[in-house]
Amino acid sequence: MSEVNWVVREERDTLMGDLAADVAARLQGAIRQRGIAFLAVSGGSTVKTLFPLLANTPIEWEHVRIGLVDDRWVDDSSPDSNERLVRELLLQNQAAKAQFVPMKTAHATPEAGVAQRNQDYAALPWPCDVMMLGMGEDAHTASLFPCSDELGRALSTNDVVVAVNPKTAPYARMSLSLASVINSRYIVVLTCGASKRAVLEKALGDGPVADMPIRGALRATAPCAIYYAP
CA distance 69 to 43: 8
Other C-beta atoms lying within 10 Å of the C-beta of residue 5:
10
In tens, the pLDDT along 138-189 reads 999 999 999 999 999 999 999 999 999 999 999 999 999 999 999 999 999 9
CA distance 87 to 15: 23
The pLDDT value given to residue 96: 98
Domain layout of the chain by residue ranges: 4-229
C-alpha separations of 31 from 11, 75, 86, 92, 129 in Å: 31, 33, 21, 20, 10
Higher pLDDT, 7 or 1: 7
In tens, the pLDDT along 46-98 reads 999 999 999 999 999 999 999 999 999 999 999 999 999 999 999 999 999 99
If we measure between CA atoms, which residue out of 185, 187, 39 comes closest to residue 124? Answer: 39
Mean pLDDT of the chain: 97
User: What pTM did the predictor assign?
Assistant: 0.97
Please, which pLDDT band fits residue 3 given cuts at 50, 70 and 90? confident
- For residue 18, give every residue at least 6 positions away whose Cβ sits within 8 Å of its Cβ, in sequence order, or none: 7, 9, 227
CA distance 112 to 102: 15
The pLDDT value given to residue 203: 97
State the sign of the Cα–Cα–Cα–Cα dihedral 83, 181, 120, 38.
positive
Percent of the chain with pLDDT over 70: 100
Domain 4-229 has CATH 3.30.470.10: no
In tens, the pLDDT along 4-20 reads 999 999 999 999 999 99
CA distance 212 to 12: 25
Percent of the chain with pLDDT over 90: 98
Q: Indicate if the pLDDT at residue 2 is higher than 80.
A: no
Rounded to a whole number of angstroms, the distance between the first and last alpha carbons of the chain is: 26
Please, which pLDDT band fits residue 223 given cuts at 50, 70 and 90? very high
